[in-house]
Amino acid sequence: MAAAPAPAVLSGTGARPASAAMIWGALAVVYVVWGSTYLAIRVVVEAQIPPMLGMAARFLTAALLLAAFLVIRSGAGRLRVTGRELLGAGVVGLLLLAFGNGAVAIAEQTVPSGLAALLVAAVPLWLMLLRVGGGERPRLLTWVGVLIGFAGAALLSVSGGDTSAKPLSVAILVLGTISWAAGSRFSPRLGLPRDPLVATVYEMAIGGTAMILLGVVRGEPGRLQLGAIETKGWIALVYLVVFGSLLAYSAYSYLLANAPISLIGTYAYVNPVVAVLLGWLILNEHVTTTIMLGGLVVVVGVALVVTAERRPQVPTVTPESTSTPADR
């Protein structure tokens, strides 16, 4: 098990110090649930729900439900934030949700869900480049793990052979992964609300609102026909709200506040494996030897990154290392 950073108390929440079990529990949720959201998003857009409006409904609904839960549990005061915290949450909401998740939804109109997950596997590589650009020097083993994981994802993509993906959709998806990586990387420096759940509320609310505006710019309201939406689309949307947003997004916010970013980024290696397996189980997609080999390579890459993060770092204490960012 990879060591978590020195126990960090989520100030203002009354939460216990972060433990390895809590961090790995949250990581498991992100690994599995987010792997399934690619399939759910694909179902949503195939069911005649416009991508940006559908994802806006997903995140705004989740934000309202989470805010209501926090108010009932702790009172309205728990949602009080400063102007700087609101601005930070807004920036993260735009980078992770409006531009990151929104790009996935738009791309999946032509890009199969499994291939989309494979392309998102580039996130840790972008994170690594951002770390190097910021003056950090990751361990050699971390570099090796990232590159091996990316190679495994590439091997999986070669095995797909699906030609329905349009080049523009692929380009949009790549830009979305860069936006997601930037939001994840810089969120600790943006002065986000110290309570990860509160940060999640504002990120989803602001990101969802931005998605509505982007949807309007794309002309999606004119294409929305509620009567034409298939039942499976509504079911998939509910799944995205409850599991993809409330559960997994909150878990990711918690990880950004308490775990090393290179460890968090390993979810992008596991999600494609989950997506491929779900395609096989639910859509009866054929799983080839190449896909199985690619999945094994991905797991090896994750194991190397985890091993690198487990080794003690040279003691360094900076304000950034103790901040509590929000997330996706």
Mean confidence (pLDDT) of the chain: 80
Nearest partner of 54 among 250, 246, 240, 242, judged by Cα = 240
| Greater pLDDT, 283 or 68 | 68
Global pTM reads 0.77
Q: What are phi and psi of 315, to 5 degrees?
A: -55, 120
Written as six digits, the tokens of 130 are 């951002």
User: Is pLDDT at 327 greater than 90 in this prediction?
Assistant: no
Length of the chain: 328
Written as six digits, the tokens of 229 are 């939406």
Written as six digits, the tokens of 272 are 């494609």
| Greater pLDDT, 37 or 279 | 37
Region of residue 219 (phi > 0: left; psi between -120 and 50: alpha; otherwise: beta): left
- Give the CA distances from residue 276 to residues 81, 234, 247, 254, 271, in Å, rounded to whole numbers and listed in that order: 41, 23, 22, 26, 9
Which of 79-106 are b and which e, b meaning 16 or more Cβ less than 10 Å from the residue's Cβ? Answer: bebeeebebbbbbbbbbbbbbbbbbbbb
Cβ 290 vs Cβ 160: under 8 Å: no
The domain limits of the chain are 35-312
User: Is pLDDT at 9 greater than 90 in this prediction?
Assistant: no
| Greater pLDDT, 206 or 251 | 206
pLDDT at residue number 313: 53
Q: Per-residue pLDDT averaged across 280-287, rounded? A: 71
Q: In degrees, to the nearest 5, what angle opens at C-alpha 170 toward C-alphas 168 and 171?
A: 65
**Per-residue DSSP letter, 240:** I
Q: Give the number of other CB atoms < 10 A from CB of residue 45.
A: 22
Q: Give the number of other CB atoms < 10 A from CB of residue 174.
A: 16
Condensed to tens digits (0 to 9), the pLDDT of residues 285-294 reads 666 777 678 7
Q: What are phi and psi of 134, to 5 degrees?
A: -85, 5
- Give the CA distances from residue 279 to residues 94, 213, 293, in Å, rounded to whole numbers and listed in that order: 29, 32, 17
Condensed to tens digits (0 to 9), the pLDDT of residues 165-223 reads 677 888 898 899 899 889 888 887 888 888 888 998 999 999 999 999 999 999 999 88
Cβ 110 vs Cβ 164: under 8 Å: yes
Condensed to tens digits (0 to 9), the pLDDT of residues 84-118 reads 999 999 999 999 999 999 999 999 888 878 778 87
pLDDT at residue number 61: 96
